[in-house]
Structure 1
Amino acid sequence: MFLRYCEAALKQTQYKQLEDKSWFAEIEGFEGVWGNGDTVEECRTDLLEVLEEWILLKLRDGDILPIVDGVELKIIEEVEV
């Protein structure tokens, strides 16, 4: 489920080539998640690493994550019976 969520989020990535010819990428709705690299591939790798860490922090803190293309990621607490 984690991988599906990341893949869905990455499909919404917006890339820009900067004046210095490096690449910048961000995902709308994922505040503070952005990547940078000398190539698009490096930029995407950096973005994915930041996205994964952002998701883990949000889940740890109990924050609600955006639903992306119908994919929802959340922690469900089990109740012992």
Structure 2
Amino acid sequence: MARRFILSDYFEQVIASAVYDKLEDGTFAGRIPICQGVIAFGSTLRECENELRSTLEDWILLGLKLGHPLPVIDISMK
């Protein structure tokens, strides 16, 4: 029987919806449209991805602590 980790599944599904842009100065910006205010910057795409993951993690934990509703997404396994 496979184990399912709901919070991990949720996190991976949300991070998969990230949008990245290369800025004029050659750095990168990343955001998650369904999570208002989740944005990160980095000098490389990898650095931006890592910063965005960290920002999302903090955003989710703070939201849970403050009792804010998290965006509803489909986390069903395909």
Aligned-CA RMSD value = 0.9
Matched residue, 1:34: 39
Counterparts of 1:2-81 in structure 2 under 5 Å?
2-68=7-73, 70-71=74-75
Q: Number of residue pairs matched?
A: 70
TM-score, length basis structure 2: 0.84
Gaps (5+ residues) in structure 1?
A: 72-81
Tell me how far 1:50 sits from its aligned partner.
0.4
Which AA in structure 2 matches 1:25? G
Between the aligned residues of both structures, percent identity stands at 34
SS at match of 2:68: coil
In 1, Cα distance between equivalents of 2:72 and 2:7:
12
Shift of 1:29: 1.7
Contiguous gaps of at least 5 residues in structure 2: 1-5
Deviations along 1:57-76, one digit per CA (max 9) or x if unpaired, are: 100111110012x13xxxxx
Give the greater-gyration-radius structure (CA).
1
Distance (Å, rounded) in 2 between the aligned partners of 1:28 and 1:40: 18
